[in-house]
Amino acid sequence: MPYIPKKEEIPIVAPTPTPFTKNDKPDYLSIEKNINKWNETSLDGFVLGSYGGEEFHLSEDEKIEIIKVVSTTMSNKKFIIAGIDTASPTIALKLSEKYAHAGANMIRVRIPKIDKDKSNENVVDYFKTITDNSSIPVIVIHQPAISMDINLSPPELSEITHLDNIYSYIMSSNFRWESIVQSYINAKVQLWACNGSLLLPSSMIGADGACLFFANWAPDLCRKIIKNVKDKKFEEAQKIQKSIIDADFIGSSKGVAALKKGLNLLGYSTTKPRRPTRELDLKETEELKESFIKAGLI
């Protein structure tokens, strides 16, 4: 059985970037080296085939091979979450079983935007089909395609989090809505923050852990913010939050190019983004480096 942290352990996971060779192919040797380096950190899990891994620039075969490499390389204190983004529950289940067979311990499924005028099903039906048939636990993420949009109602989220086989729920950045729905979520389901700049407010409304790309850089700082809030050490949490704001803002605005450049600065082999995404220029790299110094990362 994979190691699965409990709520009190404050799980911190990250969307794992994919290094590429000069021929623009996944660099599996570099992936192995990076996982070995992350094995020495407090990062709990690797989210594969997600935004940070350039999911829309990877084929299904490449995603499966990446899961296999990470599965054989990670320590027994880590786990794999495979990302799935499809409005079809049938396809989601097929992918779930393929990823589980390759070594994934859980799947992270985006809540789809279902047009009720064009479908006889809703998001609850979608997740019930998946949870009833998936051989591995499901993590639900609310990540609408349009910023600040909402893909379900609070009662629907309640029904989903009360389904069997749901492990955690990852919040969106729409904090007005996320604050409202806290009373609807199953207390047994973990609540995870989604963004480094939102760690403090997420903790204030009850975050048990986090899934965010800043955790690739500094999982300890992410965990400390949440733990300090749980321990009512709000000034200490705020101090750390302020120190990481600049780095997280650059990462959020520049995307995977900043994520990879930051990891390169920290000694990982993440190379540059897959074509056609460009890497950071010298000025942008210097700004990121300065933000890392402010955060105490280098």
Helix (H) or strand (E) holding 140: strand 138-141
Q: What local confidence, expressed as pLDDT, does residue 11 receive? A: 96
* Cα separation, 266 vs 95, whole angstroms: 33
What are the pLDDT digits (tens) for 275-290? Answer: 898 999 999 999 999 9
What are the pLDDT digits (tens) for 212-262? Answer: 999 999 999 999 999 999 999 999 999 999 999 999 999 999 999 999 999
* Cα separation, 130 vs 166, whole angstroms: 10
- Per-residue confidence band for 117, with pLDDT thresholds at 50, 70 and 90: confident
- Per-residue confidence band for 139, with pLDDT thresholds at 50, 70 and 90: very high
Mean pLDDT, the chain, rounded, equals: 94
**Which structural domains are found in the chain, ordered by start?**
7-231 (3.20.20.70)
Residue range 58-66: mean pLDDT, rounded: 94
What are the pLDDT digits (tens) for 170-200? Answer: 999 999 999 999 999 999 999 999 999 999 9
Specify whether the CB–CB gap between 121 and 152 falls below 8 A.
Answer: no
DSSP 108: E
Backbone region of residue 103 per phi and psi (left: phi > 0; alpha: psi in -120 to 50; beta: other values): left
Using the predicted structure, report yes or no on whether residue 74 has a pLDDT greater than 80. Answer: yes
Specify whether the CB–CB gap between 182 and 206 falls below 8 A.
Answer: yes
Q: What percent of the chain has pLDDT over 90?
A: 85
Q: Which amino acid is at 279?
A: E
Using the predicted structure, report yes or no on whether residue 108 has a pLDDT greater than 70. Answer: yes
Q: What local confidence, expressed as pLDDT, does residue 19 receive? A: 94
Q: What local confidence, expressed as pLDDT, does residue 235 receive? A: 98
DSSP 79: E
Q: What pTM did the predictor assign?
A: 0.94
Q: What local confidence, expressed as pLDDT, does residue 96 receive? A: 97
